[in-house]
Amino acid sequence: MPDSTHFDPTAPSPEAKTPPSGGGIAGVLGLSGTDGSDDPRKDIRFGLLVVFIFFVVLMGWATFARVDAAVYASGQIAVVGNRQEVAHKEGGIIAALHVKEGDVVRKGQELITMSGDETEANANALMAQFIDLKTREARLLAEQGLRNSFAEPVEFADLPEAFRPVIDESMDLQRKTMASNRTFLASQMSVLEQRVAQSEQQIIGNQEQMTSNQTRQALTKDELKGVEDLNARGYAPTTRVRALQESIAGMEGEYGALRAQVAAARAQIGETQMQSVGIRKQYLDQVMADLNDTQGRLKTMEPQLVAARAAYDRLHVRATATGKVMGLQVFTVGGVIQPGQKLLDIVPESTPLVIQAMVPARNGNDIKSGQIAQVRFVSLHEHSAPILEGKVLDVSGDSFTDKESGNTFYTARVQISPETLATLSRMGTEQLKPGLPVEVVVPMRERTVLQYLLEPLNQSLWKTFRES
């Protein structure tokens, strides 16, 4: 038996005889060779493994990660209806300035007062004439209907309070005129009515006399009959008969005269009634003539009054909407304004804000009304300011060209709902103003990173296979 303590330097040690573990990917790929410290293939294989794993992970990410296609457009905040320009038609001299740049004004509020004494005097004179003619027309219409009073014309309700004294004076004058005319007509009618009443009383008296006459005739005739019988027998003289006959004849004559008087009285009544009708007709004819004249004058002067009032109202330049004064062009009392000159702009505060975006011409067919858009306000410096969601309202039907840059673009309007804008207010963000820049992104279609990377290659191949 050999000696166990003999040392052989060429013999392998017990550790070297132990086989490698061979576990894991390194073992499968042979990265743990018997002499790995001197084999360069180990590093190459390990590098290929890392590249393979990276490529697999990258392809998996590129296949499933989304990079959606979208249209990018820059723009600015605008308002529906845009700014409202305030100008002056006739021009003139500034008498007073009531606002300054940035003031918030209400609709109808006076902004600038122009000097115009002659214009004001002309408007006031025509207004006084209008008031006089309208009250006269109201009075004549009442007289035409034989009414005893008339109400104030409804047109006076819209007149400025400054004309109230003129209205009251004119109404008082026309009421007095109406009362005078009615009194004169009533006096004429009263005279005729009294004449008719006298004639009627005369008829009654004559009729009573006629009744009495008939009674006396009947009695006298009875007496004559008895006397004639006595005269025939010789008991009464003939003179008595003749006297009774003469008395009866006289009474018959009186009766005829009374009948004639009754007929004459009745004729007079008819004549008086005709006079009454004539006086009333004459009165109404005069009223109608005056009414036609008054209405004709009103028709002629009303356009003049409208023009004069419009010129007078333009002396007081007023706000056309509730909003903020921007771009004030006049600053000096006594300064001269040219006809049609722009004075200022009013940016309505209650008008919904919209985004006026410039869409590149190449994307003009990719954006349509109703699409959802993402809006970022680049003027907001808060890092927490969110990207808001909006909606495309419309897209221009034709493209435009920027004269400075030469770029061609379509215009799109994007609206942000008030509820979405309220999130900015809750964050304490300053109020958004028209003109502030924004960025708009409108998603078009879903795509992955791999599709995005291959898209240029696909387009190139599409063109290549179609070249002649």
Phi-psi domain of 48 (left: phi exceeds 0; alpha: psi -120 through 50; beta: other): alpha
Would residue 44 count as lying in a domain?
A: no
Mean residue pLDDT across the chain: 80
Would residue 64 count as lying in a domain?
A: no
292 and 171 share one domain: yes
Would residue 74 count as lying in a domain?
A: yes
Three-class secondary structure of residue 167 per DSSP: helix
- Would you list the DSSP string of 58-123? HHHHHHH-B--EEEEEEEEEEETT-PEEEE-SS-EEEEEE---TT-EE-TT-EEEEE--HHHHHHH
Residue 380 in this model has a pLDDT that exceeds 90: no
Distance between CA atoms of 31 and 228, rounded to whole angstroms? Answer: 190
Tokens of 326: 């921007």
280 and 385 share one domain: no
Residue 6 in this model has a pLDDT that exceeds 70: no
Which amino acid type is present at position 24?
Answer: G
Would residue 445 count as lying in a domain?
A: yes
Higher pLDDT: 111 or 62? It is: 111
135 and 170 share one domain: yes
74 and 88 share one domain: no
Backbone φ, ψ for residue 390 (5° rounding): -130, -175
Tokens of 449: 């990173």
Would residue 30 count as lying in a domain?
A: no
Query: How many other CB atoms are there within 10 angstroms of residue 413's CB atom?
Result: 19
417 and 386 share one domain: yes
Backbone φ, ψ for residue 378 (5° rounding): -70, -15
Distance between CA atoms of 403 and 188, rounded to whole angstroms? Answer: 87
Would residue 196 count as lying in a domain?
A: yes
The per-residue pLDDT for range 69-125, each reduced to its tens digit, is 567 788 887 766 567 888 888 888 888 999 988 888 998 899 999 888 888 888 899
Distance between CA atoms of 79 and 215, rounded to whole angstroms? Answer: 108
237 and 366 share one domain: no
Instruction: Considering only the C-alpha atoms of the chain, give the largest distance between any 2 of them, rounded to a whole number of Å.
Output: 235
pLDDT of residue 153: 92
CA–CA distance from 116 to each of 91, 92, 112, 317 (Å)?
10, 8, 13, 13
Residue 12 in this model has a pLDDT that exceeds 60: no
Residues belonging to the chain: 468
Query: How many other CB atoms are there within 10 angstroms of residue 199's CB atom?
Result: 20
In this prediction, what percent of the chain has a pLDDT beyond 70?
A: 78
The per-residue pLDDT for range 122-139, each reduced to its tens digit, is 889 999 999 999 999 999
Distance between CA atoms of 395 and 412, rounded to whole angstroms? Answer: 4
Residue 18 in this model has a pLDDT that exceeds 60: no
Distance between CA atoms of 135 and 193, rounded to whole angstroms? Answer: 32
Three-class secondary structure of residue 383 per DSSP: coil
103 and 165 share one domain: no
189 and 305 share one domain: yes
Three-class secondary structure of residue 322 per DSSP: coil
Q: Burial of 172 by CB count in 10 Å (0-12 exposed, 13-18 middle, 19+ buried)?
A: exposed
In this prediction, what percent of the chain has a pLDDT beyond 90?
A: 19
Q: What is the CATH number of the domain that holds 208?
A: 1.10.287
Q: What is the CATH number of the domain that holds 390?
A: 2.40.30.170
**Helices 117-144 and 238-313: crossing angle, nearest 10°?**
150
Q: Which structural domain, as residue segments, surrounds residue 340?
A: 84-108+320-344
Residue spans of alpha helices (H) in 355-448: 418-426
Contact residues for 415 (Cβ-Cβ < 8 A; gap 6+): 352, 353, 354, 355, 390, 391, 393
Q: How many domains does one find in the chain?
A: 3
Angle at 376 between CA 373 and CA 378, to 5 degrees: 150
pTM of the model: 0.51
359 and 444 share one domain: yes
User: Which one, of 81, 99, 79, 91, lies nearest residue 319 by Cα?
Assistant: 99
pLDDT of residue 455: 62
138 and 194 share one domain: yes
DSSP 230: H
Q: How far is CA 188 from the centre of its chain?
A: 55
Which amino acid type is present at position 37?
Answer: S
Distance between CA atoms of 411 and 398, rounded to whole angstroms? Answer: 9
The per-residue pLDDT for range 298-347, each reduced to its tens digit, is 999 999 998 888 888 888 889 888 888 888 888 888 888 898 888 888 87
Range in 148-157, 185-194, 233-242, 449-458 with the lowest mean pLDDT: 449-458
Would residue 45 count as lying in a domain?
A: no
User: Which one, of 451, 459, 457, lies nearest residue 65 by Cα?
Assistant: 451
296 and 329 share one domain: no
Would residue 432 count as lying in a domain?
A: yes
243 and 296 share one domain: yes
